[in-house]
Structure 1
């Protein structure tokens, strides 16, 4: 796989997302761009003077006229691919939210992504109040609904943290997309693509311990025992009091035995 990297100055949506997926070998950036151009031009006919009416027109265009909806295979690679979302009009919460955010910009509406644990939602400020939108359905959500999404992912005792309401920038959106593409690639046994997602995310966040542990698993599937061993050792050295450390130490011992068997 060719070398590929992002820097903060070059990050744009949707182009960076299209380039990422093409780099991973899942889709053509050119095809994705044509699907985006068609939609971004078509939505302009819904530019109304009243901001509230414009938002409603956007939601009607997106969900009813163009038929965007939740992907049947929610955790598949296609659902996590923004280009495929534009082409098939199916996606997960992150790709649908990003598509809607980009189309909103065409109508001078600012929709931002909130990256909740396990789900992505949209927020806009209108008439002096925050409006939260479920990208899977287009319906408006309350703060109580947002907390329910968090509890659904983390458990009923999970608190709702103030940071969940911080709008995501392009880097964080792409990180979420890469994380979801990585998980989808693992499910599809596309381990080289999953490994590349880990490498790209670690280039931005080299000290993210759970990413090192995830990369160790993927490297093991690819037979890269030395990489897997180094990542597990990094996790142990930098997180000695984590409840998972004993399990990680066991994995490390098993890798050592496997490495000796190969030799």
Structure 2
């Protein structure tokens, strides 16, 4: 029932705020109590930031107040941790990774009247914040503005030394793209911890956003396989093969299907 309610909200005509979407993910994966905790932490952070900013120019001082005054920071020690993905844990610790901190930064900018947008940059989520009518690209992991050279270094780190920065790399993302980015990172963190049921829940949410995506159906099939649900895995693999017959992995999946146990099983 919970997932169907969230699905209905996401597919409704009324656009949802980015933070609302991120809190929906928390509710779906960790339950209503975790969402309530996140909302309390968010309210406390907003109130503390308002106190820090009192009497200041908001656009110029929001980042220093948030990162230096209130201790928001990137977690480089346990980067691929669930704690850095789920917004209730990010808010409680005030630590996260670029996409989770980026969502929080975008929300707070908008909350305090500063224009901001997310950038689904390769390998490292970025945020563009408008200060004095000029868009400045911020690394949400550190709260620091980036030079063009530093952005090019990030690109080469993600795509190799031959990669060249183009305007397309710095295009603003819509909220559904940012949500998909968060869900993909969260799914990867659950897979890293071998929590395949939770990873499957992330995949299901991704399929709410893009129901006919063959690559997400393929990935869900691999998760079903890990959970010994051979028939469900085969259905997803067959969907991928039908829609991407020229993809090199299609032949691999055909062999995979042949080795699956296709007897019915109940997934709890």
Q: CA deviation at 1:48?
A: 5.1
* Residue 129 of structure 1, CA deviation: 3.6
Among 39, 42, 59, which residue is 1:36 paired with?
A: 42
Query: Please, which of 142, 153, 178 is the counterpart of residue 137 of structure 1?
Result: 142
Mapping 1:140-219, distance limit 5 Å: 140-219=145-224
Q: Which residue of 1 aligns with 2:102?
A: 97
Compute the TM-score of the two structures, normalised by the length of structure 1: 0.87
Is residue 66 of structure 1 aligned with residue 73 of structure 2?
no
Deviation at 1:196, TM superposition (A): 1.7
CA contact (8 A) 1:47 1:107 kept: no
Count of residue pairs the alignment pairs up: 256
From the superposition, tell whether residues 160 and 213 of structure 1 become closer, same or farther in structure 2 (CA, over 3 Å): farther
Residue pair 1:198, 1:211 contacting (<8 A) in 2 also = yes
Cα distance between partner residues in 2 of 1:145 and 1:228: 42
Unaligned runs of 5+ in 2: none
Q: Deviations over 1:85-115 (max 9, x none)?
A: 1110110101111111222223211121101
1:122-152 per-position Cα deviation (integer Å, ceiling 9, x unaligned)? 1123345431111111121123332332332
3-state SS of 2:125 partner: strand
When normalised by structure 2's length, the TM-score is 0.86
After TM superposition, give the deviation of residue 161 of structure 1 in Å.
4.5
Indicate the SS of the match to 2:143: coil
8 Å contact kept, 1:68–1:89: yes
